[in-house]
Structure 1
């Protein structure tokens, strides 16, 4: 009799978990990021970036990076083309992650003011990463680098994954 009761309890648990799993499959992917359960900062919803390829998103993205502080965290770039007029700079921070949806969906488009400068600059940071973000070429003049790191720290670590660098036409 006890075994039957245990089996019934387990089957109820599995039914509940199956229901939660099926609901999660039906939810759009962006819902998890909008809720903020991951503690990520969203450049669009939290800081007002537009991501339409023409609006200057530099102030919003830089504000998101600075909001992380020196202890780091994740800045999320939802799908869009983010125009920049200056290098995006991460300074004196540990564990900063810049994360997009994919290298073809979350794009950074440097403008003319970025010619001769890096698109993303890490200054004295460690254990930082850029993931699933595409960096488009600059038609106004090539940047000096897509991503540049200037660090005097010994335990420097950079991770790049899912990156796509495209030259300007």
Structure 2
């Protein structure tokens, strides 16, 4: 399964976690309406008391994924004491480019995959993806810090 372009159409493969016509949340620099949640997560990260898992819920399109990706960028790109209340991070930080390209060795993204024949996303995350997660979490961090699955 290609994650970039399809062989027949040369069109970008859709991403199940991206709203049509919008920038992907992992590239989004602005966060609207989640300042309190961002501050709570930033405080927990600075104190070293961030839980092992964070569940962010709500209606489609309200910024859940943007908040999650901002937290990831903040954790991967800065030292604990440097995390801003809004989880903001300059895009020039080396980790930001790796994250945006889904190339960071300590981040694993699981999502429903695009079916070229049916021209739609699968209903579930494939079991092979979940198996990859198990192996990913069983390894040490490549950069000596967090390992994050989203």
- TM-score if structure 1 supplies the norm length? 0.26
1 or 2 for the larger relative contact order (CA 8 Å, sep ≥6)? 2
Bigger Cα Rg? 1
Select the structure that is richer in strand.
1
Structure 2-normalised TM-score?
0.28
